[in-house]
Amino acid sequence: MNLPNWFKQQPETPKQILPEFSWDQIDCVFLDMDGTLLDKYYDDYFWEHFVPEVYAAKNQVDIADARKLLLKTYQSVENTLQWTDLHYWSDRLGLDIVALKREISHLVNIHPHIIDYFKHMQKMEKKLYLVTNAHPKALKVKMEQVPIENWFQRLICSEEVGIAKEQPEFWHKLQHLLPYDKERTLFADDTEKVLHSAREYGIQHLIHIAKPSSRLPVKFSVHYQSIVNFQELIF
């Protein structure tokens, strides 16, 4: 006899590892964009729902079948530059991905407390850099909706570096573009695989974003200090 689901032992939800560092230890702050500063709902909806709907209509196939096909196609290039290359996806899917991005750009939104955090960093004279895997044209679409670029010393896309952030080599190549002291740098990202690569390279202070999408529940990391929003880093 099978036990009812409510009786079975459920996996424990990871507890939050609270941020524990001093800003005196930090000179440079690297911030991811999607899921970290911006609500990842836009990207999730775009790739998981909007693109499959447009693809299904164009190719006269069932939406569920289109979604299944596209999710498998996405996974085939996950963690590579192709995954975020809008021109690659336009060619592969036969769709104008940049135009589609703009079509629903009203869904681009910033996470709570981000501007307050920027002001706090400015007050403490910390150097802020946006470090994203996003394609430059995707970055442009988002900055048109949420103009936060002026808070940063520089905006860096993985395309400029030549490799995705998931690869430790990314951080080595980044130093040729942007000399930084990895022991006095803080990096915040919502993707653990990216944080793993930064840790492997030796970046000292790593922060995991536990709520990248406003539509998904909080999920803390078992490996890294986590925050739900940037108010927790205003100290």
DSSP 8-class letter at 38: B
Position 3 scores a pLDDT of: 41
Query: Cβ distance 69 to 62 under 8 Å?
Result: no
Q: Is the pLDDT of residue 5 over 50?
A: no
What are the structure tokens assigned to 118, written together? 């920027």
Question: What pLDDT is attached to residue 182?
Answer: 96
pLDDT tens column, 202-227: 999 999 999 999 999 999 999 999 99
User: What pLDDT, in 10s, does the model give residues 130-189?
Assistant: 999 999 999 999 999 999 999 999 999 999 999 999 999 999 999 999 999 999 999 999
pLDDT digits (tens, 9 = 90+) for 89-126: 999 999 999 999 999 999 999 999 999 999 999 999 99
Q: What is the DSSP letter of 47?
A: I
- For each of the domains in the chain, give its residue range(s) and CATH number, in order of start: 23-40+108-233 (3.40.50.1000), 43-106 (no CATH)
Residue with tokens 């940063």: 152
Report the alpha-carbon angle 153-232-20, nearest 5: 90
Distance CA 152, CA 190 (A): 19
